[in-house]
Amino acid sequence: MMFKHALSMVLGFLGIESFAKKNGKSIISESQKKQLTEEYGEQFVAKFEADLTQHEATGEDPLRTRLEQKMTNLDSLVAEQKKTLETLQQENNTLKGKVEKLSVTPEPEPAAEFITENGKRQLKFNINRNLAHNKMAAAYLAGDSRVMAAGETIDVDSVVSEFGDLVNYVKLDMIGQIFQGFETAQHLTWKRGIKSWKATRSLITSVVQQFVPKFTPLGDTTFTAIEIPLRRFKINVLITPADVEDWIYSMYDESKDLDQHPITVYIVNKLIVPQAWDDLDHIAANGEFVELDWSTVSENDPGQDPINSIDGFLTQLKAQKALGETSKMNYIALNEFTAENVIDEVNKFVDAIDKKYKRKDMPVYIDPTLYRMYKRAYKDKYGSGSDKADDPKYGGDVIDFSRNRLVPMYNMTDSKALFTTPKENFIGLRHKNEPGATKLTLRKYDYDIHGLGEFRFGIGFAIAEAVFYYVPDEAGSGSAGTGV
């Protein structure tokens, strides 16, 4: 049996069905011996040749032996294929049963779908009206006020159940609302990143030059790109049965129905987004990032102050000032502001902007307290009509005879600071995979509900040389030298 295997292997290696015959006996040619010796060695070839002679002396034919081996292999293959076919037939019968069952089962209605109404594409919710909180809401909207007056217990389990069905339809709209709604957001140029973002080219470049018939790029002006980290934020909100009651009352007051205004949408739009706006706008300017040691935090501990979640733009400017001459940002020294000098100091600030940026319409972001001081001083100096911007060169919020306009930002209140930079240099950072990086869920806890969410956000400046700023000496410092 061993020789038969060796014979099959050798014939397969040589690519032949049988050896040549001489006087009825197999002959291994010299070229074949050479091939076999190179592959298996001289000892193997000598033994194989001797075994072949002995094998044929018993009356065995190598060709027949080869065919018998192939038939044995074929029988094994047929048996395997038969077994595979039986398995597939069983699976096919199972699938047929499932198809028959599904054919008589009505297709579930989607939890939400997009419809066109009055020419506008909008989301329509197909809520489960059998859930307890929806039954109560439907009864109240139908005029049965007894369901609320009777003090029936709000079933928070049904709220959690509905939220799980609808959350994927609302979470991206929620994060869109958050990033578009806080005051600073309108002044940012939004970029996307995974862990951080960094500019790859300067804001000031040259593309025009004397003609030569070759490609000779000028390259960018020397610039210092600042890496802006993408910080991770969480949302924790407590939802009580009283909040569910408020949802029902709000639908009645606003003449909305359940499909327009399910509890899920109310939780997002009324309990999460507005507070997120307030928090983000404050920390976008004033945040001072503190790395949190997760091992020191236990479930239900008091939450950390939002201010510690990120370095805001004012913190970044203070950190750059602390670097002194090593900073690449442009600090403009001003005198302490008073009602008497505020106009002159603001004019001095604008005059100090590098000439490369004077042609750009860059807003000057200013502490609202300084803004009021400036506007009152301007009115006292130039009269009651000077607050109108009929002439684009002066008056109103335009800093006289410049292309700069004062823009108060309320998260800068009492900072006594002001800064300017091109809009494309003032960066807001979001996650590249926002659907995957944004999470939102509800969990029941006793009689209340815990709303849990997660998203990413970053803020900073792309190019250091394109920032012109003033912050007073007494201001503190944040994380030195970085974007967020």
| DSSP per-residue letters across 252-294 | HHTT--TTTS-HHHHIIIIIIHHHHHHHHHHHHHH-------G
Residue 442's φ and ψ, nearest 5 degrees, are: -120, 145
Does residue 466 contact residue 421 with C-beta atoms inside 8 Å? yes
CA 379 from centroid of its chain's CA atoms? 47
Residue 298 lies in a domain: no
Residue 70 lies in a domain: yes
Q: What is the pLDDT of residues 419-455, one digit of tens each?
A: 999 999 999 999 988 877 788 888 887 778 888 888 8
Q: What is the pTM of this model?
A: 0.69
Structure token pair of residue 167: 């959350």
Residue 283 lies in a domain: no
Q: What is the pLDDT of residues 312-363, one digit of tens each?
A: 999 999 999 999 999 999 999 999 999 999 999 999 999 999 998 988 889 9
- Give how many domains the chain has, as a whole number: 1
The whole-number pLDDT of residue 475 equals 44
Helix, strand counts (H, E) of the chain: 15, 16
Q: Are strands 426-431 and 189-193 parallel, antiparallel or unpaired?
A: parallel
Give the structural domain span for 20. 2-102
CA–CA gap between residue 273 and residue 290 (Å, rounded): 24
Residue 47 lies in a domain: yes
The whole-number average pLDDT for the span 102-106 is 49
Residue 318 lies in a domain: no
| DSSP per-residue letters across 318-374 | HHHHHTGGG--SEE---PPP-TTTHHHHHHHHHHTS-HHHHTS--EEEE-HHHHHHH
Q: What is the pLDDT of residues 186-225, one digit of tens each?
A: 999 999 999 999 988 766 555 566 667 766 666 555 678 9
The whole-number pLDDT of residue 468 equals 98
Structure token pair of residue 199: 């500019």
Does residue 371 contact residue 363 with C-beta atoms inside 8 Å? no
Smallest Cα–Cα separation from 156: which of 183, 178, 184, 136? 136
Residue 26 lies in a domain: yes
Q: What is the mean pLDDT of the chain?
A: 81
Residue 360 lies in a domain: no
Of 106-115, 361-370, 451-460, the range with the lowest mean pLDDT is 106-115
Instruction: Kindly list the distances between the CA atom of residue 20 and the CA atoms of 16, 33, 66, 129, in Å, as whole numbers in the listed order.
Output: 10, 13, 14, 87
Query: Is a pLDDT exceeding 50 seen at residue 481?
Result: no
Does residue 239 contact residue 448 with C-beta atoms inside 8 Å? yes
Q: What is the DSSP letter of 397?
A: T
